[in-house]
Structure 1
Amino acid sequence: MKLLLKKLNYIFPVLILIGFYACKPAKQSYTSPKGYDFNHPEKFTMPESLHEISGIAFYKGKSDTVYSIQDEEGRLFRQAWGNKKQKHAVFAKKGDYEDLAILNETFIILRSDGTLYTFPFSEATKDKVANIKEWNDILPDGEYESIYADQQTNQVYLLCKNCKEDKKEKTMSGSIFTYNPAKKELIASGNFSMDLTPLIDKGLILKTGLKASALTRDPHSGDWYILSSVNKLLVVASPDWKVKGVHRLNSSIFIQPEGLAFDNQMNLYISNEGDELSSGNILKFARKP
């Protein structure tokens, strides 16, 4: 009897371990877009003033200076890459500012309600921005977090994060404007949409949609890169908005991904808002041959 009990004392722990590993869910697989390794970024930790960093942008693709905003104050930040010391220019009162773009010599900043602010690039070095223009009610009602500006065509693309018709149609809609720098005007130039049915049917995203938090474009292929903080995904789409790839993001690396940009060396950058335990940051993914 004692011998039996002794054997059972050895057997039970083994059985428990076998049961634990049998019930343990399979390890999550994380992929990266072609040419990048999302598992090994270079991390630039933000100061407290940019704990809630949202959009990021580069002037003519030059990565030596990062321009950014955060989603509580109407301030345009600038800082050298790797240097936490920042300077800023006030462009508006407090509000929910989500993304920005630099279109040649013009800044365009997006507020979550679809309001846009435009002002000359030269104003970025001042304490308070002058010559600012505010654009209201030019977008369909909804919530917006993503803007992209095409340097060659002067076209501005805006994605809707939450729009009533999108949820019903299982699409992600967007609007296009053309910016006339001489007259400083935004001219409505069309709309577009992306079919989300395949992503929803496969359970890759929430039934309520992709919830885009940032948008940029591969300068070489023309493919769209769409970031979703809610779904923890990066979606790559063709120039005509057809899904080409879906990459799930590791939450231990991507805390709350909100900003997205390429530099002129084709390196990819993703900014993350901080949380109670981690500071905000910008992750750099070097382009691999």
Structure 2
Amino acid sequence: MMSDNESESPERYALDKPYVYKLPIELDEISGVAFYPKDTSILAINDERGWLYKIYPEKPGLIQKWKFADGADFEDLLLLDSVFYVLKSNGNILGFKFISTDSLFLNEYSFPATKGNEFEIIYYDPFIRKIILICKDCESDKKKALSTYSFDPYTSQYSDSSFSIDVKRIAGMIHEKSIKFKPSAAAIHPITHELYIISSVNKLLVVADRNGTTEKVYKLSRTDFKQPEGLTFTPAGDMIVSNEAAEIGVANIMIFRYNKRTK
């Protein structure tokens, strides 16, 4: 159970001590991010722009970009076996792979449900080898839970997932009777295999097991986490969070080192 102390952090992290990398105006609406271990760069997408960006935190000012689609409401990014998956807010997923430096192969997979669903999250679960989507605001959901869906990248098929997010449990852990939980980013920790979920609206970090059962909840600083929309990890466990500009300064990427927490 969490306390009301905003400085409390998950084990081996210090949420009040990020490395902050400021981004140019073009990335004011940065959404999803993915780590690229081959050269330790960070890949990113921008809401409403069909461009893939490559950011080098160790080389300030160096950013590469490639166009993959026309503008749309792009929410999250995943890199899996050299294929990029980009989530649209309606649940559709774009899958694309670069054939050469100036050409790519792209498919769009339509979410098989009626209108009235809003998503901001996809992440890969390596244990079941599926991509998971978490509802931000889905028509069939009530206030007490959020549905999840899965997408099989090997068969290109959607299906209902095996779990839902218990919103009532999250509310209880922050001493609230009820909340309208609207998650904006999620990823599985590469070492602990826990599911980390961020809600920009609620300014919360939820740590759950892979079945979505909440274990801990942390309040986030509204100063540092002004609008967190992307979350990913390095293989070593460093946590990477992207913040939109949110009309306050510029967008940024925050890196939280794993196992570096000071007491």
State the TM-score, normalizing by the size of structure 2: 0.88
Following superposition, the deviation at residue 30 of structure 1 comes to 3.1
Query: Residue 43 in 1 paired to residue 20 in 2?
Result: yes
1:171 aligns with 2:141: no
1:75 aligns with 2:84: no
SS of equivalent residue, structure 2 residue 7: coil
**Residue 186 in structure 1 maps to residue 156 in structure 2:** yes
Provide the identity percentage: 33
Q: Report the secondary structure of 1:284's partner residue.
A: strand
Question: Cα distance, 1:158 vs. partner?
Answer: 0.7
Aligned pairs for 1:24-35 (under 5 A) are 29-35=6-12
Tell me the number of residue pairs that the alignment of Structure 1 and Structure 2 aligns: 254
Alignment of 1:78-227 (within 5 A): 78-82=54-58, 83-120=60-97, 122-123=98-99, 126-127=101-102, 129-138=103-112, 141=115, 142-151=117-126, 153-168=128-143, 170-180=144-154, 185-191=155-161, 192-201=163-172, 207=178, 209-227=180-198
What residue identity is the alignment partner of 1:147?
I
Q: 1:66 aligns with which of 27, 42, 52?
A: 42
Which of 259, 262, 265 is matched with 2:230 structurally? 259
Unaligned runs of 5+ in 1: 1-26
Q: Please list every run of at least 4 consecutive aligned residues from structure 1 whose deviation after the TM superposition is greater than 4 angstroms.
A: 201-208
Q: Distance in 1 between matches of 2:81 and 2:129?
A: 8
Q: Which has the greater radius of gyration?
A: 1
Q: C-alpha separation between the residues in 2 aligned to 1:114 and 1:37? A: 33
Q: Deviations over 1:16-60 (max 9, x none)?
A: xxxxxxxxxxx953311111000010001111111111110013x
How many angstroms apart in 1 are the aligned matches of 2:176 and 2:104?
Answer: 41
For residues 173 and 257 of structure 2, what CA distance do their matches in structure 1 show? 31
Taking the aligned partners of 1:258 and 1:32, their CA distance within structure 2 comes to: 19
Following the alignment from structure 1 to structure 2, what is the Cα–Cα distance between the partners of residues 219 and 140? 34
Q: Aligned pair in 2 of structure 1 residues 204, 96: CA closer, same or farther (>3 Å)? A: farther
Task: For structure 2, list consecutive stretches of 5 or more residues without a partner in the other structure.
Answer: none
- Taking the aligned partners of 2:256 and 2:176, their CA distance within structure 1 comes to 24
| Structural mapping, 1:242-253, within 5 Å | 242-253=213-224
CA contact (8 A) 2:33 2:43 kept: yes
1:256 and 1:232 mapped to 2: Cα distance? Answer: 8
Superposition RMSD on alpha carbons, in Å? Answer: 2.2
Measured after TM superposition, the shift of residue 218 of structure 1 is: 1.1
1:286 aligns with 2:246: no
Q: Name which of structure 1's ranges 199-208 and 213-222 shifts more when overlaid on structure 2.
A: 199-208
